[in-house]
Amino acid sequence: MNKISRIWVVLGTVVLSLVLLQQFWQWEIERVEVGQGKYLIRIHRWGADLPSDQIIAPDESYKGVMLDVLQEGRHFLNPIFWGYEMHDLVNVPTGQCLILTRKFGSVIPSERLAEGDILAKEGERGIVPDVLKQGSYRLNPYAYSWEMVKAVEIGPDQVGVRTLKVGKDSRALPADPKNPQYVVPDGYRGVQKTPVEKGTYYLNQYVESITAVEVRSHRAELTDIEFPSRDGFILKPHVMVEYQVKKEKAPEVMVRLTDEGKLHQADSTPQEQEQNEILQKVLLPHIRGYARIEGSTFDARDFIVTGSAAGNDKMSNTRERLQKALLDKVRPRCEELGIEIRAVLLGEMKPPVELAEQIAQRDIARVKQEQNKSMVGQYQEEQKLQSIQTMKQQNREKVEAQTRLLVSKTQSQQLKQVEELRLKQELESAQIRLEAAKARAEAILSKGKAESAVTTAQNEAEVAGLRKAIQGFSSTGAFAQYQVLKQMAPALREIFASDDSDFAKFFSTYLSAPPGGLGKLSPPIAENGRTAPEKR
């Protein structure tokens, strides 16, 4: 092998060795595997020193911790220039959130801190306003610190009282000495006037807080109420009060009644009632005070009367009156403080010992009185029995007399009815005959009138015909003669004109009539309608 060949062999060997060395360095020395659920933080070993007030290197020209982190997977880091740390993912479970505090950046200006603005803006160190909700996050522990807090749950029977810790200064609001303000308008630091509705709230506790206040109805039994009666006895009733916080005044109620920023509203046990600010600071003082005032106007026996329906009714009415008086007095005062009183009920009252003895003695006297009343009632029943027997005899005799009287009255009534019936029948028969006679008379009269009317009509017709016939003659005498001749003409056979008798004289007028007179008689008409031959 010549010299050149040996040189190429050496060079090849060197190159191969360098390649192998580079691969070994990269895959065995520089290779960093980031597993699932992990992340990696890089630390630069070379470069300029960071300023004294900085802990995060702005870029690779500085030595120190880099801000950005590397996620799961394979990365290559030269250990000469880089160091690293492996961390677990920060998991935020359901119902919680993460509050971040940034450790790097510029300082918040003192002017903003003086105004109460403690939240860091972009590029400033301090508390970050926004929170991180459910999820997994890669957070650089050198750049941030964090705090896990629970979300605030406001139930359906609750409202949330919101307290703002960052915002406008509430001291700038106008003050009213007569009407102090316990809450502030929205946007000002302090307890907000408007409550929040039900829901889940993820809050930065350095920015705001929300406290749940129950607004459902509560019932509490108060056993430490007592008051003196008008007759000097101390009465201790069991008082049941039903109340609830008014929704719109929940923030003011919480501010006025609690020093711990939370209302204790449990009231089922005496220990819980002692911690309940609403009972101890509002309800009990008002109910105690007005119970002593209103209860002193009643007598003790009005509340404890027993043994009769009338007494129980009186006791019920007295309790109702006191309940109404307490409710009318306590309700408006509590509503001013934001508590709505829905009912005040008085339970059974245990009487004092001396009053119980008086009641027992009165019960004994009442029992004896009832016994005496029973004996008196027995005697009265015996008297009633004797009276009933006497009354029975008297009633029996009275019934017999009434029966005889009734029989006599019945017989007389029957005779009277028979006679009246006979007379009525005779009267009805006479009326029927009278009506029949009237009907016959009316029929005869109607018939006569009808016949008269017919005759009159016939006569009027004949007269009308005669009148019409006369108009064809010179006089009524001529018409009469014509009618006479007309009747006689059929029976005449001969006329003797020379006869001087009265009968001939009758015709002489016609025979010797002038040319302008009747002239020649009209030829007689035969019965068959033909002209009769003239007889001489």
Which pLDDT value is given to residue 371?
A: 85
**Local confidence band at 472 (pLDDT 50, 70, 90 cut-offs):** confident
**Local confidence band at 319 (pLDDT 50, 70, 90 cut-offs):** confident
Task: Look at residue 386 and tell me whether its pLDDT is greater than 90.
Answer: no
Of the chain, the percentage scoring pLDDT greater than 70 comes to 87
Task: Look at residue 261 and tell me whether its pLDDT is greater than 60.
Answer: yes
Which pLDDT value is given to residue 352?
A: 67
Say what angle helices 309-336 and 284-295 make with each other, to 10 degrees: 140
Which pLDDT value is given to residue 238?
A: 84
Query: Rounded mean pLDDT of 59-71?
Result: 92
**Local confidence band at 496 (pLDDT 50, 70, 90 cut-offs):** low
Return the higher-pLDDT residue of 469 and 156.
156
Which of 24-38, 223-237, 519-533 has the largest mean confidence?
24-38
Query: Rounded mean pLDDT of 297-319?
Result: 65
CA distance 391 to 387: 6
Query: Rounded mean pLDDT of 416-434?
Result: 89
Task: Look at residue 520 and tell me whether its pLDDT is greater than 50.
Answer: no
The mean-pLDDT minimum among 40-44, 54-58, 215-219, 301-305 falls in: 301-305
**Local confidence band at 84 (pLDDT 50, 70, 90 cut-offs):** very high
Task: Look at residue 516 and tell me whether its pLDDT is greater than 50.
Answer: no
**How many helices, marked H, and strands, marked E, lie in the chain?**
11, 21
Task: Look at residue 47 and tell me whether its pLDDT is greater than 70.
Answer: yes
Return the higher-pLDDT residue of 73 and 179.
73
Taking residue 173's Cβ as centre, other Cβ atoms within 10 Å add up to: 13
Task: Look at residue 509 and tell me whether its pLDDT is greater than 80.
Answer: no
Which pLDDT value is given to residue 330?
A: 92
How does pLDDT run across 14-33, given as a tens digit for each residue? Answer: 888 888 888 888 888 889 99
Task: Look at residue 210 and tell me whether its pLDDT is greater than 90.
Answer: yes
Query: Taking the complete model, does pTM exceed 0.75, yes or no?
Result: no
**Local confidence band at 85 (pLDDT 50, 70, 90 cut-offs):** very high
Task: Look at residue 522 and tell me whether its pLDDT is greater than 60.
Answer: no
Which pLDDT value is given to residue 507?
A: 61
**Local confidence band at 505 (pLDDT 50, 70, 90 cut-offs):** low
Task: Look at residue 70 and tell me whether its pLDDT is greater than 90.
Answer: yes
Q: For 348-377, give the DSSP string.
A: EEPPPHHHHHHHHHHHHHHHHHHHHHHHHH
**Tokens (6 digits) for 251:** 């923030």
Q: How many CA atoms lie within 13 A of 519 on its CB side?
A: 6
Taking residue 161's Cβ as centre, other Cβ atoms within 10 Å add up to: 27
Distance, first Cα to last Cα, the chain:
220
Taking residue 77's Cβ as centre, other Cβ atoms within 10 Å add up to: 17
How does pLDDT run across 86-104, given as a tens digit for each residue? Answer: 999 999 999 999 999 999 9
Task: Look at residue 513 and tell me whether its pLDDT is greater than 60.
Answer: no
Q: For 186-220, give the DSSP string.
A: TTBSEEBSSPB-SEEE---TTTEEEEEEE-S-EEE
CA distance 307 to 354: 18
Task: Look at residue 178 and tell me whether its pLDDT is greater than 60.
Answer: yes
**Local confidence band at 536 (pLDDT 50, 70, 90 cut-offs):** very low
Q: Which of 248, 255, 109, 100 is nearest to 170 (CA)?
A: 255
Which of 145-154, 295-304, 317-326, 470-479 has the largest mean confidence?
145-154
